[in-house]
Structure 1
Amino acid sequence: MLGDSLSDVRIVDFTQIAAGPVCTHILADLGADVIKVEAPEGELGRALSPFVAGQSLAFLALNGNKRSVALDLKDSAQREAALQLASSADVVVESFRPGVMQRLGLSYEDVRQRHPAVIYCSISAYGQQSAWKHKPGVDGALQAISGLMSITGLPGAPPSKVQVPVVDMVTGYTAAIGVLGALARRARGGVGQWIDVGMFASAIALQESSFASYFAERIVPLPIGSAAPYAAPNEAVRCADGWIMLAAYHPSRWEALCHVLELCELLSDPRFLDMSGRIAHRKELVALLEERMVRRTRSDWLERFEEVDIICAPINDYSEVVASPVFADADFTEQVYHPAAGDVTLTRTPFRAVGEMPAKRRPAPLVGEHTREVLQEMGVPAVWSPKG
């Protein structure tokens, strides 16, 4: 199964909040034994709302399939235990500000001295070698500074960001890909290495095609709502009872759209003869489309468009998403029992092979739930009374 791909890999996880936990969440979903090292009071992500029975739902969503070890890294004996854990791992992932792990004696060099083949992944806001490496950063700030917020939202409206922590998420995925690449390289006879993953770099990579356009034309892109700057019609259009995302910009689909809407005169309208014209006259084009589309319901138009292979989709809210056939057919939810929060419904891992259903995740751990268990496995002497 895809979910046991990394079953022989142990990862020690010194991450918190979202970007780092997303990385180790992915690796845990692929079967790695992820040991999450937290302060005795728990990592910062446990304080993010909303809560169920005092448990952060954000934390529960991003930390399934992991084990938790609670260690006070300011205590020399417990810090030594953390170093022994890190030195026993295939992979170490950390998301402190650059310099913190060095001050703690848990840096790449510290771990490498004991385990030369270790793969060590550092996740930070601006990277280990940036002039801004000591600056803190969170998802919203990185959406802002990376330019993403400047192209999100409606023209003339206040700045807007993607509501989900998209920079955190893409940084986590970037880090996981880097770890998988390093594991593959080491398996071919290579050595360990220090992977540097920055949120800023990940946010720029997310906008790779947009920056390519900027470099070519030196035109600063502006927010245009739901529209795509490179094609039209390719945006949200209003129906009698809601909205549809419509992508009918390929020539054959543009022609089919005009026929379905009984607007064939648009095919010879000089404003809309080619893509550049339709982009330049987007506002007029959408007004003409919507004048016809508000006469029928969303479901009616979706059926008519799909019959002629026009790409379209309803703009769903979350209640409509979970009720949709495509969501239900793929069994995208799972119910996990957590000892403090009880039964919690979460989205299932997206990693699956054809014909397989991924195994249900274990619940996110309580703070220090596995401290004694893990330390005994590692042969680390319990010179204090650890939690768990």
Structure 2
Amino acid sequence: MNIKDFAVEQWMNEWETKCTYNVAETCTYSLTLDQLFEVCGGDRAQFMNDFAQRRLTYGDIEGNPAFLKGVCNLYETVEPGHIIPTHGAAGANYLVLSTLCGPGDHVVSIMPTYQQLYSIPEMCGATVDILHLEKDAHYHVDAEKLAALVTDDTKVICINNPDNPTGALLSREEIETIVDIARAHGSWLMCDEVYRLLTQDDDGFTTSPIDLYDKAVVTSSMSKVWSLAGIRLGWAITKSPELRHDLLSHRDYDLISCGMFDEAVGAYALAHADKILARSRRIVRQNLAALEAWVDSEAHLSFVRPEAGTTALVYYDYDLDSYEFCTRMIETTGALVTPGDAFEEPKSMRIGYAYSDNVDDLKKGLAAISTFLRTLE
């Protein structure tokens, strides 16, 4: 079994600890435990004391009930028995796709998006057709082009909403159209929703396929929106009893259960989801305004303004491939961004604009990028 190098993660592994300005970070500014209790207004000492008295067993194999309840509250129709806790959203994506996909299967995925959504099916022996998201269409899924790729033999359709790296956000109507395409062919619809709810408008309740389609499977985590990547906790959701059985069976080989402390922290955070979400939206909205003003001020840069999430795909017109561009940038200024070629988007860079809750910190990182740009003129 062969799998392509995970371009984004290998880039981050190489450079993340060597930068001065981590403008590649995709989480909303991560919380400390002290900050978590400060934001939520809870009793830190009581929480720690209660947990310290628990025996460190494997915990709840199918998930801490309070954590499962918190996840249910993020959706309209999800019940605890639909949720499978995983090792982050990356673990959820791997579990779902390696369970659904096998040799000879047909998969349709989008690009640019998180590489797992097309490389894992390929690793499993599936034939993968790619729907390229177009900049001129603001990276939204073209329903006619998607329908042309999907056949009665299509096992899985993979989408990402909101999209990483572009920040595109599919509307309810667009999701319904994609569901109709999947339903017409009996295909599974897999949606990575790790940035869900982190929108730029005041409504912010992103429609999920899990609330619309019985063969939808969605994944997410506590990392991006909830600022708790360090607990490495995510989930996959399916309403199919048969698929749930298969997912749990596959999970037995590499996970057994998620950590007791991770799920306790996740449950606590989701019990105060409104407070953390308000913090996260404040950060992304103020920082995106600063990013937009900066891109507008740089004659050699352009982008489609993100509609959701924490990432933006910014294009440049210099005659450099993106790996050389980004390597020279960090070596020159200490500013870390992600090469667009990691998403197969040449002459671009992915910028994470929510890496600090202080907009002045973001501006310093962007100023460092500008310093590098001046060396190219």
Higher Cα radius of gyration = 1
Whether TM-score is above 0.5 comes out as: no
TM-score (norm 2): 0.28
TM-score (norm 1): 0.27
- Greater relative CO, 1 or 2 (CA 8 Å, sep 6+): 2
